Amino acid sequence: MFGAFIHRKPARSLEQDDAAFDSTTFSLTTAVPRPAERRSDDRMPALLRVAKLITPEGEQLIRVRNMSAGGLSAEHGQQLSVGEIVSLEIGSQRVPATVVWKREGICGIKFDSSVDLGELLAGRKPRHGFRARPPRLEVQCKASLRIDKTYYTVDVHDLSLGGLKVEPIEEYCLGKQVVVVVESLRPVKGEVRWFADRKAGIVFDEPLKFEELAEWMGKRLEMASLKASYKRD
């Protein structure tokens, strides 16, 4: 299922991730991008913009290859069906859409109504002193958190390539270096950047790879589907 994603590459800095945003191709038309020829499909996955796709089964990250005012084509991990009703989180916008074609791990998605690409691209530019936040997946799971020599078990509320939100945690942890282990993901180093009401935001020193987070989320969705089927039986 995730064969199209598995490309072992060194982790990139957040600055490189920001620059990679513009490597997705944008077209000033209302047509949904069509499947590309094989010879033009060798675009490096690391240079594609990451967005969030919301389906009835759950959320997943996708890599946007091409985008127009009328739709986009993207690499996806979890199974999608032609005609499936979905929504996309692109920057700060939530866009209703429909899957209109798919081929070998790539799909075409048509927006319910055309979007203003100029407004969308202007909206993603961070204000001075602020960094654009990567798409977050809403998850409910446990994580192990090590701060100095103390270990905590915390609840994870959302997770992205660049960080996560957890609780409960104490205010003294603000600004501390941490090591986080979320279920079956590898240990990740980071820093507690904000604190409020025993909740904290942790920014990773090096972002997770798209492949590992997509595969991790896919396994969670498969397990949820199996549990739902078992209950129905």
pTM of the model: 0.62
Task: State the average pLDDT over residues 71-76.
Answer: 90
Q: Return the pLDDT at 112.
A: 92
Q: Are 148 and 186 in contact (CB under 8 A)?
A: no
d(CA 31, CA 182): 40
Return the higher-pLDDT residue of 7 and 187. 187
User: Which residues sit opposite 154 in a β-bridge?
Assistant: 143
User: Number of helices and strands (H, E) in the chain?
Assistant: 3, 13
Q: pLDDT tens, 130-182? A: 455 667 888 888 999 999 888 989 999 888 888 999 999 888 899 999 999 99
Q: Report whether pLDDT(110) > 90.
A: yes
| Sign, CA torsion 91/7/182/205 | negative
d(CA 33, CA 71): 7
Beta strand segments in the chain, E? 25-27, 49-55, 58-68, 71-75, 85-90, 93-103, 106-111, 137-147, 150-159, 163-167, 177-182, 188-196, 199-204
Q: Return the pLDDT at 232.
A: 62
Domains of the chain (ranges plus CATH)? 3-123 (2.40.10), 137-204 (2.40.10.220)
Q: Return the pLDDT at 202.
A: 94
Q: Are 192 and 176 in contact (CB under 8 A)?
A: yes
Q: pLDDT tens, 16-49? A: 333 333 466 767 677 888 776 544 444 444 456 8
Return the higher-pLDDT residue of 60 and 39. 60
